[in-house]
Amino acid sequence: MKLLVTGASGKVGQVFLPAFLDEPRFSRWDVVALCNNRPVETRARLSVVQGSIADAQTVSRALDGVTHVLHLAAVKESPDRAIDVALKGLFLLLEGFRHKADARQFILLSGDCVVGHVFQKYADPITEQSPRKAYKGSYALTKVLEEVMLEQFGIQYGLNWTTLRAPWVMEKDDFRFAFDLSDAQFGGPSWDEIVEPERLAQLRCQRAFPVMRDAEGRPLKRGFIHVDDLVRAILASIDNEKAFGELFNIAMNEPVDYRRAADLAARVADLAPCDVETSFHSNWLDNSKARKVLGWTPDIDLSGLIDRAWSYRRAENDPRIIWYPG
């Protein structure tokens, strides 16, 4: 068996590759990483194809001998690259892969942007049957189109596909800096977009922990997943016939309650909870299907996220880099 991984040098790919190569179930598998801007180091059973996913010849070389594909590559808010990378690239991969005599499974990593996470309102927990309602922007749109394209290749050509839909992926100290009120904030939206400048300055001086409140005035609830749990879900899906033709929500068992997060952070970092009003909506990405079908359960809960984030100390050679394009 041979697995092609796109986006192997990204946040998920960097954790996935060593986990896959060290997993006894895949000890006889080879891996090829299709890399563009940031190559990965080769090691036993791992080779690299350098080039753009939007180039047909590069994709053809990468697919040589491949039986399984794990598509992690994505671009964020880069409209000038969205069509080439997210749509043309996926189409080239699928079109080339479906002609392979040994093609067995194509796995797509998607995100809860396709259901709008905090930007769209749902009356019930979000399941795999909930309607897709992307928020504004090219990234969410391309993820919706990717999910639909993959499903259609399954319908049109009988391709075995699996889609794993994840919320905000955390690693290292990401969770800590997602709530940081300084310019070191990780992710968005930026605090200066939802907090008045004078109040934001006060909160920064007070060592505050922002407790976002949703449109109904309650502490916001939002989905998260630690990268280690996501990687375990990917491993559980690979060559798993129960996963063929299926979409799975890969999230924590419960969404993060921002008030509870603030209470826990106060214990470990002496931060004072402070309410921040927003127009966002609380949502629950239901992972019941993944737990039942894949036999997967996330290990890291809210307490684990906080403990890991506040205890992690970055080395000088481990800067926080957010790679949007490529």
Confidence of residue 218 (pLDDT cuts 50, 70, 90): very high
Q: Residues 164, 185: one domain?
A: no
- Rounded CA Rg of the chain: 20
Confidence of residue 100 (pLDDT cuts 50, 70, 90): very high
| Residue that has been written with the tokens 């396709």 in this structure | 114
Q: Residues 34, 147: one domain?
A: yes
Mean pLDDT of 178-189: 86
Q: Residues 69, 216: one domain?
A: no
Least confident segment among 12-21, 78-87, 128-137, 291-300: 78-87
Does position 323 have pLDDT exceeding 60, yes or no?
no
Round to whole Å and give the CA distance between 85 and 55: 9
Range of the domain at 200: 171-222+254-282+300-311
Mean pLDDT of 161-165: 98
**Two structure tokens written together for 51:** 């080039």
Q: Residues 74, 197: one domain?
A: no
Does position 159 have pLDDT exceeding 80, yes or no?
yes
pLDDT attached to residue 326: 33
In a domain, 323, yes or no: no
Phi-psi region of 290 (alpha: psi -120 to 50; beta: other; left: phi over 0): alpha
Q: Residues 91, 116: one domain?
A: yes
Round to whole Å and give the CA distance between 8 and 39: 8
Q: Average model confidence (pLDDT) for the chain?
A: 92
Does position 220 have pLDDT exceeding 60, yes or no?
yes
Least confident segment among 3-7, 25-29, 33-37: 33-37
Mean pLDDT of 63-88: 85
Confidence of residue 27 (pLDDT cuts 50, 70, 90): very high
For the stretch 135-152, what's the b/e string if a residue is b when 16 or more beta carbons lie within 10 angstroms of its beta carbon?
Answer: beebbbbbbbbbbebbbe
Percent of the chain with pLDDT over 90: 75
Does position 324 have pLDDT exceeding 70, yes or no?
no
Q: Residues 127, 157: one domain?
A: yes
Closest CA to 26 of 170, 208, 237: 237
Instruction: Fill in the amino acid letter for 134.
Output: A
Does position 325 have pLDDT exceeding 50, yes or no?
no
Q: Are 63 and 4 contacting, i.e. CB atoms less than 8 angstroms apart?
A: yes
Q: Residues 144, 100: one domain?
A: yes
Q: Residues 51, 152: one domain?
A: yes
pLDDT attached to residue 321: 64
Round to whole Å and give the CA distance between 156 and 267: 54
Does position 320 have pLDDT exceeding 50, yes or no?
yes
pLDDT attached to residue 221: 97
- DSSP lists the bridge partners of residue 3 as 31, 68
Does position 25 have pLDDT exceeding 90, yes or no?
yes
Mean pLDDT of 314-318: 83
Q: Residues 23, 81: one domain?
A: yes
Number of domains in the chain: 2
Helix (H) or strand (E) holding 170: strand 168-170
**Each residue's pLDDT tens digit, 41-65:** 878 899 999 999 999 999 999 999 9
Does position 94 have pLDDT exceeding 60, yes or no?
yes
Q: Residues 198, 230: one domain?
A: no
Round to whole Å and give the CA distance between 254 and 251: 8
Q: Residues 99, 177: one domain?
A: no
Taking each helix axis from N to C terminus, what angle separates 227-237 and 11-22, rounded to the nearest 10 degrees? 50
Q: Residues 26, 99: one domain?
A: yes
Confidence of residue 222 (pLDDT cuts 50, 70, 90): very high
Mean pLDDT of 194-198: 90
Taking each helix axis from N to C terminus, what angle separates 258-269 and 302-311, rounded to the nearest 10 degrees? 40
